[in-house]
Structure 1
């Protein structure tokens, strides 16, 4: 009898461990995808393609692959309030155009801390101002560390205003704010991750095709079809579909806080990838900003404070 009881209790434990392991693997792969997305997007908009053209391939692939889902929902899902729907679309064409334009001015080492690094800060600010959210001391310290990272990187650009880097910093912070709006809208939309991705992909493609379609066609005519295909795979399929599915998988198996615990690796990986790919070596301000935002995101996620994880 004891052996039977031990076997019965061991099976759920093993199943739970395997479930958690798969969740951690999915979260890690998602962070790696984000890092390559940041470097790949900066390379594209600074070498061969304008932001609107990259945006077309970014959203056309998810729109086509998820067309059966959006077909069942319709052009606008029934019961979706207009403000919530517009909040969802903030993460689409507006987010991409603003962020990709900012990447033309800001080096890759600055993109990680100022974009994914500040997203938790904007989510918290919007939650406090619009919905009365409250946070414990540990998370507040984390938000303060993220703000310190912004000051480290932004202060350096203000001292060298002639370089124009400050414009990229403002645009990246604006993109992070748009993502914060999207986060709260998604929580209140009642849509699944794939439904939201399909809706955002469809509307973003409709917006961006008139803006970026001619430039995209011109790039193909100029012999840049290879670069377009690479961006279609990276932007549209890997980031736009695989990344979304894996992140949802990680959240389902780990919970939001633990799934977000690996996100600080994104800025670090993007900086390391940019050294050989873009030839961009981070300066001291960027390194300090990355260190501050890494600690800040860990504290802000609540992963280091069990009583705040909920």
Structure 2
């Protein structure tokens, strides 16, 4: 099985399991911090002057270009592990982005965190236990229960009393969470390096989004929204499209699928915090309780208090 960037150096250095886990934890935290900002910036963009396809094009053109040396070595599609790669493409590529970005047109940013990155680790854990026979251990199982309770607390009110059309966004976000879970579970089964997967997903996503996305970029610049385009290019393309995905890939390799996925339970809290100054949204008591519950759950579910058995 391939390691990601620097696998030869890793083997030579022969790092301890603790070192592996610390690197994995650091990469997972970096990824979720970026994704917290991504939710807010995407919500702002699709309600502003950039349609979802345009924002998606800005996200994927950067990894497709920057990581071209990596995916060129693989070719236009992998010779082995094609099915896992297709699952990765569906779970983190252009189709996934369009689904989630359109969902954000129906629901506020506060709903996105609990229903997308909040539920994804629960789906990964369920599949890991039922399909791959992963043993979670008591602490990690309790952690996932806390994450589930946090998700309910964060989003329970909007699910019980949805605004007009909000149920459409909720359904799309849950579908997106299932797709992202598939990416997380299939990632290590591709047999590819992190930069190869991220670059190749970026390439094919750019191809399918260019007909609708590129004209939107040109129009936005002509209408005087060049600064917003540049901001989204950095946020979507550089940070979310390259840095976060590579970091999350390293976290999956070092921690295993379900442990890495557990960290995404922090995204709702981060998104809620960022939304206060950026969107003027202030969390209520239910949101605060949800954030606390989710945070406790991530600490337990990530395996911080026990190594357990890695799968995925």
TM-score for both structures, normalised by structure 1: 0.82
Distance (whole Å) between structure 1 residues aligned to residue 309 and residue 133 of structure 2: 16
2:36 pairs with 1:35: yes
Match of 1:86 in 2: 86
Root mean square deviation of aligned Cα: 3.0
Alpha carbons of 1:283 and 1:68: their partners in 2 closer, same or farther (altered >3 Å)?
Answer: same
Contact residue 220 and residue 228 of structure 1 kept, 8 A: yes
Segments of 5+ residues of structure 2 without an aligned counterpart are 1-12
8 Å CA contact 1:99–1:172 kept in 2: the answer is yes
Change (3 A) 1:16 1:145: closer
Assess if the C-alpha contact under 8 Å between 2:121 and 2:265 holds in 1.
no
Deviation at 1:202, TM superposition (A): 0.7
Classify the secondary structure of the residue corresponding to 2:47: helix
The Cα of 1:158 is off from its aligned counterpart by 3.4
Tell me which residue corresponds to 1:7. none
Give the Å deviation of 1:245. 3.4
Residue of structure 2 in register with 1:95 after alignment? 96
Residue 72 of structure 2 aligns with which residue?
71
Q: Is the 8 A contact 1:258 1:303 kept in 2?
A: no
d(CA) in 1 for partners of 2:207 and 2:191?
23
- Cα deviations by residue, 1:81-126 (Å, 9 ceiling, x for unpaired): 3x32220111111211111122223322332222222221111223
Q: Which residue of 2 aligns with 1:62?
A: 63
Q: How does 1:135-154 map to 2 (within 5 A)?
A: 135-154=136-155
Task: Tell me how many residue pairs correspond in the alignment.
Answer: 296
Contact residue 198 and residue 246 of structure 2 kept, 8 A:
no
- The verdict on how the C-alpha distance between 1:78 and 1:173 changes in structure 2, with shifts beyond 3 A counting, is same
Residue of structure 2 equivalent to 1:229: 230
Q: 1:289 to 1:104 in 2, by over 3 A?
A: farther
Write the mapping of 1:149-168 to structure 2, written as runs, cut at 5 A.
149-168=150-169
C-alpha separation between the residues in 1 aligned to 2:255 and 2:132? 22
Q: Is the 8 A contact 1:261 1:303 kept in 2?
A: no
Alpha-carbon distance in structure 1 between the residues aligned to 2:265 and 2:125: 17
Aligned pairs for 1:238-277 (under 5 A) are 238-248=239-249, 255-256=255-256, 263-277=264-278
Aligned 8 A contact 1:275 1:281 in 2? yes
Greater CA radius of gyration, 1 or 2? 1
Whether the aligned pair in 1 keeps the contact of 2:115 and 2:174 (CA below 8 Å) is yes
CA contact (8 A) 1:30 1:243 kept: yes
- The offset of 1:29, in angstroms, is 3.4
1:165-218 Cα shifts (integer Å, max 9, x gaps) = 333222222211101111122121101110100110011111111232332322
Partner of 2:214: 213
Alignment of 1:177-216 (within 5 A): 177-216=178-217
